Structure 1
Amino acid sequence: MTITPPALSVFEALESEVRSYCRGWPAVFDRAQGSYMYDEDGHTYLDFFAGAGALNYGHNNPVLKRALLDYIERDGVTHGLDMGTTAKRAFLETFQNTVLRPRDLPYKVMFPGPTGTNAVEAALKLARKVKGREAIVSFTNAFHGMSLGALAVTGNAFKRAGAGIPLVHGTPMPFDNYLDGRVPDFLWFERLLEDQGSGLNQPAAVIVETVQGEGGINVARTEWLRGLADLCKRRDMLLIVDDIQMGCGRTGPFFSFEEAGITPDIVTLSKSIGGYGLPMSLALFRPELDIWEPGEHNGTFRGNNPAFVTAAAALDTYWADGQMEKQTLARGEQVEQALREICEEHVRLGAEYRGRGLVWGLTFRGSGGRSPEGHSTDHTRASAVCARAFELGLLVETSGPQSEVVKLLPPLTVSPEELDEGLRTLARAVRETA
């Protein structure tokens, strides 16, 4: 289809230059339903972005919308700080019965504020308070948020530079396969911990993503995650899993760490936990870590009651019978097969893919940048593929430190037919930019 970029508008005249997604998708969107978005000129777009993972159940999911409208129409509490409300009680009971108890997870639940970076800040603060230490270990190509504490454990140089001040008390270690399998897992990390002359202060915690979304769809092996959990236990460090983008079923199970059979000390959730795209985040932690004083960490919008309503409805609808995990894994096999065919067609471009569940990345070996494993990558091609996909009616974004990865993040509710449509469009976009 032909897209005519909007003329100079209020967005360009008034909105800050910091805006980003709208630059890659020059359209003015008007409505959305399920896996599709529609602009004001009547163009249709298949959405393989899903609100950066905040819309696992699609746009304006009818079940969640009905629950939200009913709540608003009866004048349910909208803003409640951390007061007890019927909406919060219903969410907590549903979360406990649908998510925590079936997985034998004993976590306490904290509402730290509406965004993922709020949850990360709370997790880091709690870990330091519990252990009485300042240092936190993170991993290469990690992304944990844009506030100062979260930036200190984020790897991306461009995002870190925006802080404008030194980002301290965070130490990066190599993520799984960062050294291309040439060095045993955690050899460097453990040696630094053992050596009193290494300069590494004893960390309070380690924070990790099981799949690095913004970092380039870097998937940690289950054995690597188990090794990390064991290292944390042996060395008296808390293990924090950032499940903000990969939780709520994105990799198949509700939590992305379930496949590895580990139980983190602290877990952060946001994005799709609210179900409908409403702001909400959680910090989950073992009961013995709950040493907060009342009000020691708070925020005006930590009690988003409409999000409690849609979150509970999402859990009841999609997580009570175990079918969502099976469906996501089946859809993931469909994506993997299509990406394999794309890569076989474009061997000369060095096309490669990686992912789990319904998060996948497509990258190209070239001369534009470097992959997390140190390989040369072509970041301009990934951007060109995403741009052409938009022209063809598919929304996909790039990720990775050089924007070298085409990132696929469709709603978990996407149908096989919609998935096939999007994958065929992606294949065409790659072909036409080759």
Structure 2
Amino acid sequence: MEIINRLESEVRGYVRSFPKVFTHAKANKMTTEDGAEYLDFFSGAGALNYGHNDEVMKKALLDYIESDGVTHGLDMATDAKQQFLATFEDVIMKPRNMEYKIQFPGPTGTNAVEAALKIARKVKKRDRVLFFTNAYHGMTLGALAVTGNASKRGGAGVNMPGATPIPYSGYFGEGRDTADDLDMMLSNSSSGLEKPAAIILETVQGEGGINVADFDWLKKIEALCRKHDMLLIVDDIQAGVGRTGPFFSFEPAGISPDIITVSKSLSGYGLPLAITMIKPEYDIWAPGEHNGTFRGNNHAFITAMAALNEYWRDDKLEKSVLRMSDRIQERLNGILSANPAFKAEVRGRGFFIGIDCEQAELADEIAAECFKNHLICETAGPDDNVIKVMPPLISPDADIEAGLDILETAIKTVLDKHGLLNNAA
């Protein structure tokens, strides 16, 4: 750690939360240089939904490298790209009756968001984009402009115009529909809200604290986009690729976004790969109008194709995630019920679950205690008040139970330290 602490920028983050040198990783476990093994409830912040070093993907990648397959090709045609596109269409798009053009905007999720925002503005010839409270869409300036977190926005160092925050689903609690509020503002010419080009949203806000949008609310937002001539952008970078169960997190809501951003676990192997999916009528880019040196990662195409073939030609993985999701929520709610002085709430979908702590500082203490006991998990939310439970989707039931045991012990340890254990007063 000495060289990292000495040479790496002060901006480093996760190495502070997990201060160990990791040397190996397999499936849902990581190993440090001293041989200690850690259960992974972090999944590379959602980039490792299939776990570490999947054998099928690893073999496909090694075979491709051994054959001297093209590594770097900008947006030239390669057989790897052709095969990925054909597989994505066959396995994901056709069964869902989806018709989209696929843009490779660059290697990361924020690149996909930047492309989505640019094409929406180009199509509608308006600059305003609406985003939601507690949203997180990336760290480049365009994506940061539609991100809610004050500390992240503060890192920009400049004003970020062209974006307006609006309340997310349930932002004011029960009994108030924020979609109706938005409709009133858009319908009233004196509301002061300039007509936007698009709305961008996450169906489950990850970094914002595992805030889950109601399906009826999502349908209303889609209807508002049609009514008021706006495009609907769904950022499925963290919530997608099976994290909530289905491949796309918005599938259960029955909505059809105009633009979809996908990244993180799309490559399946942790390799950088991002796509912006655009309904064909809105794909009005001029050739080369949005480009980049690394907008096509052939190694990632190979592993992504292997992942799609391995996990998405049937619904076994989706059903497994939904089944075990119920168990995770049952156990977490049981922990809260047994400790009524611990004011917290369990929420989420699939393997995208959080414990929202009323006393925000408890979340980081509990996550740190988990790491001491060889479980990796992180916190999120406006005050790092939510403990995220995000195991790889392929985690065996027994390992999930073992991780929950560690989490339960950590919660009890921290509660006891603060005089809150089993305290119903």
TM-score range (shorter-chain normalised) is over 0.9
Q: Specify the SS of the correspondent of 1:186.
A: helix
Segments of structure 2 that go 5 or more residues without pairing to the other structure are 416-425
Q: Pick one of 372, 376, 379 that aligns with 1:395.
A: 376
Percent of aligned pairs sharing the same letter: 54
5 Å matches for 1:85-164? 85-164=78-157
TM-score, length-scaled by structure 2: 0.97
Match of 2:362 in 1: 381
Shift of 1:198: 2.1
Q: C-alpha distance in 2, partners of 1:184/1:50?
A: 33
Paired residue type of 1:385: I
Match of 2:188 in 1: 195
Paired residue type of 1:416: D
In the alignment, structure 1 residue 260 sits paired with structure 2 residue 253: yes
Match of 2:346 in 1: 353
Match of 2:71 in 1: 78
Q: C-alpha distance in 1, partners of 2:372/2:338?
A: 22
Q: Pick one of 282, 304, 309 that aligns with 1:311.
A: 304
Match of 2:171 in 1: 178
In the alignment, structure 1 residue 38 sits paired with structure 2 residue 31: yes
Asked whether the 8 Å contact 2:169–2:177 carries over to 1, the reply is no
Deviates more, 1:137-146 or 1:195-204: 195-204
Q: Pick one of 244, 249, 256 that aligns with 2:242.
A: 249
Q: Pick one of 294, 306, 316 that aligns with 2:287.
A: 294
Q: C-alpha distance in 1, partners of 2:210/2:338?
A: 21
Paired residue type of 1:407: K
Match of 1:370 in 2: none
Q: C-alpha distance in 1, partners of 2:180/2:215?
A: 17
Paired residue type of 1:287: P
Shift of 1:184: 2.8
Shift of 1:352: 1.4
Q: C-alpha distance in 2, partners of 1:354/1:405?
A: 10
Q: Pick one of 399, 407, 414 that aligns with 1:418.
A: 399
5 Å matches for 1:270-281? 270-281=263-274
Match of 2:408 in 1: 427
Q: Pick one of 6, 12, 28 that aligns with 2:5.
A: 12
Q: C-alpha distance in 1, partners of 2:315/2:70?
A: 31
Shift of 1:90: 0.6
Write the deviation string for residues 352-378 of structure 1: whole angstroms up to 9, x where unpaired. 10010101001222xxxxxxxxxxxx1
Match of 1:408 in 2: 389
In the alignment, structure 1 residue 208 sits paired with structure 2 residue 201: yes
Paired residue type of 2:383: Q
Q: C-alpha distance in 1, partners of 2:177/2:246?
A: 28
Q: C-alpha distance in 2, partners of 1:412/1:380?
A: 28
Shift of 1:334: 1.7
Segments of structure 1 that go 5 or more residues without pairing to the other structure are 1-5, 366-377
Write the deviation string for residues 194-246 of structure 1: whole angstroms up to 9, x where unpaired. 22222211100000000000000000011110111111111110000000001
Shift of 1:340: 1.3
Q: Pick one of 151, 162, 170 that aligns with 1:169.
A: 162
Shift of 1:330: 1.1
Paired residue type of 2:138: G
Q: C-alpha distance in 1, partners of 2:374/2:271?
A: 25
Write the deviation string for residues 157-184 of structure 1: whole angstroms up to 9, x where unpaired. 0000111000111011110000112423
Write the deviation string for residues 66-111 of structure 1: whole angstroms up to 9, x where unpaired. 1000100111111010010010011000000000000000011000
TM-score, length-scaled by structure 1: 0.95
Q: C-alpha distance in 2, partners of 1:290/1:184?
A: 33
Q: C-alpha distance in 1, partners of 2:331/2:60?
A: 36
Paired residue type of 2:377: V
Paired residue type of 1:220: A
Match of 1:373 in 2: none
Q: Specify the SS of the correspondent of 2:31.
A: strand
> Where in structure 1 do 4 or more consecutive aligned residues deviate above 6 Å?
none
Match of 1:234 in 2: 227
Deviates more, 1:392-401 or 1:190-199: 190-199
Q: C-alpha distance in 1, partners of 2:343/2:133?
A: 23
Q: C-alpha distance in 2, partners of 1:336/1:36?
A: 22
Asked whether the 8 Å contact 2:170–2:177 carries over to 1, the reply is no
Deviates more, 1:191-200 or 1:302-311: 191-200
Q: Specify the SS of the correspondent of 1:335.
A: helix
Deviates more, 1:181-190 or 1:404-413: 181-190
Q: C-alpha distance in 2, partners of 1:296/1:408?
A: 40
Shift of 1:193: 1.2
Q: C-alpha distance in 2, partners of 1:115/1:184?
A: 33
Asked whether the 8 Å contact 2:48–2:268 carries over to 1, the reply is yes
Asked whether the 8 Å contact 2:203–2:212 carries over to 1, the reply is yes
Q: C-alpha distance in 1, partners of 2:117/2:57?
A: 32
Write the deviation string for residues 271-292 of structure 1: whole angstroms up to 9, x where unpaired. 0001100000000011000100
In the alignment, structure 1 residue 28 sits paired with structure 2 residue 21: yes
